[in-house]
Amino acid sequence: MTDDPRLTTGLGSIQSVGLNAFEANQIEIQANVGHGLPSFVVNGKVDASLREAKDRVRAAITNSELKFPDLKVTVSLAPADLPKAGSSFDLGMALAILAATEQVMTTRTTRTVFLGELGLDGGLRTVRGVLPALKHARDQGFTHAVVPMPNVAEAALVADLEIGGARCLKEVVRWLAGDHVLDTVTEGDAIPPPTEHHDMSDVVGQAEARHALEIAAAGAHHVLMTGPPGIGKTMLARRLPGILPPLGSEESLEVTAIHSIAGTLRAGHPLVSEAPFIAPHHTTSTTALLGGGTGLARPGAVSRAHRGVLFLDECAEMGPKVLDALRQPLEEGEVRVSRRDGVATYPARFQLIMAANPCPCAPAHDIDCICSAVARRRYLGKLSGPLMDRVDIRVRMDPPGNTALMSDAEESSAAVRDRVTAARNAALDRWGAHGWLTNAEVPGSALRQRFRLEPSALRPIELFLRDGRVTARGADRAIRLAWTLGDLKGLAQPGETEVAEALLYRDRGGH
Ligand SMILES: [Zn+2]
């Protein structure tokens, strides 16, 4: 090492990982320090957030008792053609400059990736997307990763990668010199805390709605609940994650990765192991729903609800554009977010639960409604069309009668979850080979042809079709639902009873 880095020219190289939405790429950060007018240039398809990195890197180096070279400094992020955004390259850029000027040792850097945003004081700040970035690094053969201290618990979720947590640039420099040990966490620290307790046993009465929610959980069906304000639509929807099977380990990591990029992980307990519940307000924007924004595109509500529940309360109050935007992710299970550099894709396979008042004036009892017949029709009419074609269950909630309020304690979520899990396993055994995981995913054509029910089971549908009481699409929905009713009863195939029952769910909810 030399005492005066201003005189040192050279090349330094540090490895990092960049994210383009859900896609991770290994990024090599090269710093070249050469003779010429003092300057600092960053190359390699970087966005505005990265150009600000120059100020942070320069200040962090000088405020860490290190020297920023008074020479021509060029930092390149390779491969050049990949778009790069976010602040997680700060640490790598600083280290590359320090390596070029021989202020740090580079013997430990070849198998190590570095992620972290720098403060002007040289402190390291938490960054988004650590989990998906480090999973990629591990798959690329890296053995070590250095991350900001607050990201350590999340980083530790990646198996077979040694994690070091640092509070500031100086700690990393001392670690590279071999005279500092970086902090790690053991697996025991990452055990998730018990999840919030929203139990089905808290819901008094509403037997029909509770049963509808159980069916929805078993078949992964989308639901529309209508009923007056305060009837318990939100309370019930919040209890859906508690009766869904817990996420498998792969799903869990996938969901955690999305929430890592969104910046919504719980500090210290980052692993998301239960189905998420995401409830955007009815005034939410299309961007907030679908994702986007400058820098590293944030996953929207549809992606944060991936493998879980998207709850839209007062959905009749949402703009038609916002509701229409849901169609593409509902159909494809992923969402495309438009970017300056093209299109980014995030997973978005969620169960949609919508709730609406029956009319604009929304009285506690229907009899007090002051809306005109036209206003009432128009209100829920907004929800018709292609979006509603995907909603298999409509349920109408009414104020509970006195007997319902006096009834015994209701069943717990754990008991319901056992039945739901058994039904889901039955569906998976049947459809798994065809690539469908749940009854809700089975296309109508398969239900009508390949997996056609016995003629006796189809009799109620034929009657309804003949009388014009159900449309062809409505018939598909009823058959799909009948399969779930059969699965909940442990039947090999739904019969006439299940099909007739399913037809009852066809039109409820007021339209
Ligand atoms: Zn009204």
Residues with CB under 5 A from ligand 1 (ion): 359, 361, 369, 371
Q: Clarify whether residues 161 and 214 are in a common domain.
A: no
Euclidean distance between CA atoms 288 and 286, whole angstroms: 5
Helix, strand or coil, per DSSP, at residue 101: coil
* C-alpha distance from residue 352 to each of 147, 170, 222, 302 (Å): 36, 48, 5, 9
Domain final residue pick, 348, 383, 400: 400
Q: How far is the CA of 411 from the centre of ligand 1 (A)?
A: 34
Q: How far is the CA of 405 from the centre of ligand 1 (A)?
A: 26
Q: How far is the CA of 226 from the centre of ligand 1 (A)?
A: 13
The number of distinct structural domains making up the chain is 3
Euclidean distance between CA atoms 167 and 163, whole angstroms: 13
| Tokens representing residue 202 in the block | 């808290």
Q: How far is the CA of 317 from the centre of ligand 1 (A)?
A: 14
Q: Clarify whether residues 142 and 244 are in a common domain.
A: no
Does residue 405 form part of some domain? Answer: no
> Taking the chain, what is the end-to-end CA distance rounded to the nearest angstrom?
77
Which pLDDT score, from 0 to 100, does residue 20 have? Answer: 86
Cα 86 from chain centroid (whole Å)? 19
* Lowest-confidence segment of 162-176, 307-321, 335-349, 418-432 by average pLDDT: 335-349
Residues 6 or more apart whose CB falls under 8 angstroms from that of 220 comprise 351, 424, 437, 438, 439, 440, 441
Q: How far is the CA of 478 from the centre of ligand 1 (A)?
A: 29
Q: Clarify whether residues 181 and 321 are in a common domain.
A: no
Which pLDDT score, from 0 to 100, does residue 49 have? Answer: 72
Q: Clarify whether residues 145 and 70 are in a common domain.
A: yes
Model confidence pLDDT, tens digit, residues 298-356: 899 999 999 999 999 999 999 888 998 999 999 899 999 877 667 789 999 999 999 99
**Ordered alpha helix ranges (H), 223-348:** 233-238, 240-243, 249-262, 286-290, 301-304, 320-325, 327-332
Fill in the DSSP letter of residue 349.
-
Q: How far is the CA of 237 from the centre of ligand 1 (A)?
A: 23
* C-alpha distance from residue 146 to each of 149, 187, 189, 363 (Å): 9, 17, 18, 57
| Tokens representing residue 392 in the block | 């298999």
Which pLDDT score, from 0 to 100, does residue 303 have? Answer: 97
User: What range does the domain containing 335 cover?
Assistant: 200-400
Q: Clarify whether residues 170 and 66 are in a common domain.
A: yes
Q: Clarify whether residues 375 and 242 are in a common domain.
A: yes
CATH number for 146: 3.30.230.10
Euclidean distance between CA atoms 118 and 56, whole angstroms: 6
